Amino acid sequence: MYLWLLFCVSALQYAVAAQNVTGIDGWLRYARIPNADSLRGQVPGHIVALNDSETSPVFTAGQELMSGMAGILGANADVSYSMSEKGSYRNATGTLIVGSMDQFEGASIDMGEEPELIEDGYHIAFSGSDVHIIGSNQRGALYGAFKLLAWLAQGRLPQDSYTSNPDAPIRWGNQWDNLQDGGNHGSVERGYAGDSIFFKDGGVREDLSRVPLYARLLASVGINALVVNNVNANESMVEPRIVEGLGRIADLMRPYGVRLGMSLNFATPELLGVLDTFDPFDESVIQFWQDRTDLIYSHIPDMAGYLVKANSEGQPGPLTYNRTLADGANLFARRVQPYGGVVMFRGFVYDSTSLNQTEDWRADRANAAVEFFDGLDGSFEDNVVVQIKYGPIDFQVREPASPLFAHLQNTATAIELQVTQEYLGQQCHVFYYADLWKSVLDWDMRYEEKPSLVRDIIAGRRFNQSLGGYAAVINVGLNQTWLGSHLAMSNLYLYGRMSWDPTVSGEDVIQDWTRMTFNHNPDVIQTIKEISMESWPTYENYSGNLGIQTLADITGSHYGPDPASQDGNPWGQWTRADTFSIGMDRTVFNGTGFAGQYPAIVRNKYDNISTTPDDLLLWFHHVNYTYPLKESDETVIQHFYNAHYAGAANAQTYAPRWEALKGKMNQQQYEEQLYRLIYQGGHSIVWRDTINQFYYNLSSIPDEQNRGGCGGDFPYRIEAESMELDGYNVTIAEPWNTASSGRLIAASSNDTATATATVPDSLLTSNSSTYDVAVNYFDVAIGIAHWTLYLNDRMIGEWKGDMEYRLGHAPAVAINGDSNTRITFHDVKVRSGDVLKIVGEPEREDVAAVDYISIFPPGVVD
């Protein structure tokens, strides 16, 4: 009997351990920790949450503490909601009381020395077996509860009292969810993880079950408001039927202290057909917005405020009526002011139609924000916050901090970061933001020659603002992992941690996150930390170097490599690359003058090429490809080649390093992430070769090491176009450099096509008896092609072109750098004279295209 029981218990444990981890709980899995037994006795057996209203964050805190302690420690704490009930739990050891300061006072609980708290801050005090979590407000109390649970989930319970206050009051998320977007209602702009959790079919979803789960994640890291719709806003957002739905969303977020915000379309009165103007000075327009604002607050009394993108990228704004941007912002600010709302007014304002690349050397989109806001400082209402993208262009792999941060001393500002990875691998490449964000937050503007860190400016410290802070474009979707990939979620966690405390260490954060999201295995923690910390330099290496921009396709997907799209595009995102030289001359004396938008010390540093750090060289200067770098022995062009080879080589190590974790983490997390890391390894080679081929072709300067794509041959490749073809045609990629040597094969009809080649002796020079065989092919989104690879009629493997269902990046609609990808077969016995055959079965647009086959000894990066 005893043995049977033992068997049942261990079977149960096994079942729990083997349960799938879909990612839906993010870092709030409350999984049992290794030292649960020793910690369990240290936590109180009874919880008192000082609010019994289910909509209050304090009530939520009680629930979270109970379930968290049960999950993490196996502790069995009860919750009650008033001190009088506490009596019935006298037998429990210790009490954990959670509530706001007011509630502690109301219940006459001795708080000891009164903690110094600002809005949303909290204090955790330990006294004997009792714990007090005291919030400055109810939201703060919930944050304190999450802090305590985070400690426990890390396997520790400090006994010293702990006080924490946020660095800035604004810590918002922005979702770019589309209420209506052409035919695709409920999509998410620059979202790579499925449809909106909020909208469907042009309205608010009936099923909003994902909303509280999301709000819970946000609250656990201190994010206190969420704008739920795209900055390119639809006018219907203020229609009564939508406002009613927004009220339902707000109700679901309120228990987590996450307030709802919304983006507005400036031309709403006209677009809805209510008025024939949207002039912010027009009385009927003012009245329109007053009525709609009143309506919104009648449904959502704690609405956080509005987010407004005006006069940018085709969006309407006040300039149409010769009113200033401040007039436009104030129109809304005055409406929400009595309700305590704020207006986040975007600094991302530019008009690329006024820029001419060929005729005007001084044309520069990077100048736009400062120019548009010129003269407006101080004319915004107090509840306006200018929300400024971290860099002057647009979420590029490396940018200097936007100079606009130094131009608004009498206006509150917030930095706009992105958690989603537009331009940066769209969650299919690992990109952990810690160091990139720090490069901007720690940027010192030296305003009036005094320390003026961006993080001090936005927190209001530098220029004495009471508002300001952080916004991040997050763009979660219905995907079970929220962002499309398990590892990408570390950025949402990081955003919360860094907006609460921008001095936090990126390494600490990723380790904390890993323990909670995966487990405490030291190998798991170490590997995830290392890959994450390497991820920015690695991606930068194989994308755009030296501050040139990301070099992703700028006119379409913003995903795969397309260096040619960097010039001549209508968006004003240029590199001015020609056959001799490259880079934007942003100097004052000879260029666009952008460097002059910074205060003098910073301006002088970047205006002068000899004091400009290499990593921003091409952001500020136009130089010959042969220009020598300061921090290495390379020329610009040689650095491009070297960096691309180094970056792609490092990306090859990710998957094997992950494979070493097999069995050390949950199988679902392991497999889903491995799939992406293998994909990234292949796609990094596509990036490398595309960019090297492009700049070699443009500059005609060969690589010193004579490597493939930049002057030399690819030593391990059989180009598909050189194979014997039956049913395949040779064709050219668009742009050409996204295919190896520019050419590829694609099925010429809907029928099966075949390509064969004899393996030449020259490819098999190593002593190895087995080889890796990689096939680079194009997986185009519409249709699912099928490929089979044979060696001497023995099947090596087969695969489908179904990545559009497995990866969430922007649809790869053509044969280009978005669709070029790779599959690798390991340990294949290959001998000279063997016959390789690829059989492709096309479907619709997916024409079973093949770029090349590469045969290389294990461990080599081809």
Summarize as ranges the residues that interact with ligand GCU (CB under 6 A): 189-190, 231-232, 309, 313, 348, 394, 422, 558
313 or 704: CB nearest ligand GCU:
313
Distance, in Å, from the CA atom of 690 to the CA atom of 732, rounded to the nearest integer, reads 13
423 or 619: CB nearest ligand GCU:
423
394 or 779: CB nearest ligand GCU:
394
188 or 661: CB nearest ligand GCU:
188
Backbone angles phi, psi at 268, to 5 degrees: -50, -45
To the nearest whole angstrom, how small is the minimum distance from the Cβ of residue 187 to ligand GCU?
12
| CA-derived radius of gyration, the chain | 29
Distance, in Å, from the CA atom of 75 to the CA atom of 87, rounded to the nearest integer, reads 20
To the nearest whole angstrom, how small is the minimum distance from the Cβ of residue 792 to ligand GCU?
49
Task: Return the SS3 of 775.
Answer: strand
189 or 435: CB nearest ligand GCU:
189
Q: Among positive and negative, which fits the CA dihedral 562, 365, 641, 542?
A: negative
Distance, in Å, from the CA atom of 520 to the CA atom of 515, rounded to the nearest integer, reads 5
User: Which residues are CB-neighbours of 485 under 8 A, at least 6 positions away?
Assistant: 427, 428, 430, 672, 673, 676
373 or 658: CB nearest ligand GCU:
373
Q: What is the DSSP string of 780-835?
A: -SSS--EEEEEETTEEEEEEE--HHHH--SSP--SSSTTTEEEEEEEEEE--TT-E
3-class SS letters over 497-535: HHHHCCCCCHHHHHHHHHHHHCCCCHHHHHHHHHHHHHH
The residue from 313, 371, 444, 615 that is catalytic is 313
User: The sheet that has 786-791: what strands, in order across it?
Assistant: 724-726, 753-758, 835-841, 786-791, 794-800
**CA neighbor of 637 nearest in space, from 696, 574, 586, 579:** 696
CA atoms within a 13 Å half-sphere pointing along the CA-CB vector of 344: 33
**CA neighbor of 82 nearest in space, from 53, 124, 114, 39:** 53
CB of 178 within 8 A of CB of 184? yes
Residue 313 is a catalytic residue = yes
Token pair, residue 712, equals 């030399």
To the nearest whole angstrom, how small is the minimum distance from the Cβ of residue 418 to ligand GCU?
9
Residue 120 is a catalytic residue = no
What single-letter DSSP state applies at residue 112? S
Q: How far is CA 762 from CA 199, 262, 388, 793, 836, in A?
A: 58, 62, 56, 22, 15
The residue from 25, 279, 422, 534 that is catalytic is 422
Token pair, residue 647, equals 């970056």
Name the amino acid, one letter, at 65. L
To the nearest whole angstrom, how small is the minimum distance from the Cβ of residue 565 to ligand GCU?
13
To the nearest whole angstrom, how small is the minimum distance from the Cβ of residue 389 to ligand GCU?
7
Q: How far is CA 688 from CA 43, 66, 512, 545, 640, in A?
A: 53, 51, 33, 12, 9
231 or 370: CB nearest ligand GCU:
231
CB of 453 within 8 A of CB of 463? no
Closest residue to ligand GCU, judged by C-beta, is 231
The residue from 394, 399, 456, 818 that is catalytic is 394
Name residue 388's beta-bridge partners.
415
Name the amino acid, one letter, at 112. G
To the nearest whole angstrom, how small is the minimum distance from the Cβ of residue 201 to ligand GCU?
22
271 or 295: CB nearest ligand GCU:
271
Token pair, residue 295, equals 């309506």
Residue 394 is a catalytic residue = yes
To the nearest whole angstrom, how small is the minimum distance from the Cβ of residue 349 to ligand GCU?
10
To the nearest whole angstrom, how small is the minimum distance from the Cβ of residue 723 to ligand GCU?
39
3-class SS letters over 154-189: CCCCCCCCEEECCCCCEEEEECCECCCCCCCCCCEC
To the nearest whole angstrom, how small is the minimum distance from the Cβ of residue 40 to ligand GCU?
48
**CA neighbor of 66 nearest in space, from 88, 81, 56, 87:** 81
To the nearest whole angstrom, how small is the minimum distance from the Cβ of residue 313 to ligand GCU?
6
CB atoms within 10 A of CB 337: 18
To the nearest whole angstrom, how small is the minimum distance from the Cβ of residue 45 to ligand GCU?
50
Distance, in Å, from the CA atom of 321 to the CA atom of 313, rounded to the nearest integer, reads 17
What single-letter DSSP state applies at residue 318? G
To the nearest whole angstrom, how small is the minimum distance from the Cβ of residue 317 to ligand GCU?
12
CB of 550 within 8 A of CB of 396? yes
3-class SS letters over 654-710: HHHHHHCCCCCCCHHHHHHHHHHHHHHHHHHHHHHHHHHHHHHHHHCCCCCCCCECC
CB of 454 within 8 A of CB of 466? no
Distance, in Å, from the CA atom of 232 to the CA atom of 229, rounded to the nearest integer, reads 8
To the nearest whole angstrom, how small is the minimum distance from the Cβ of residue 475 to ligand GCU?
10
Query: Which active-site residues does the annotation give?
Result: 313, 394, 422
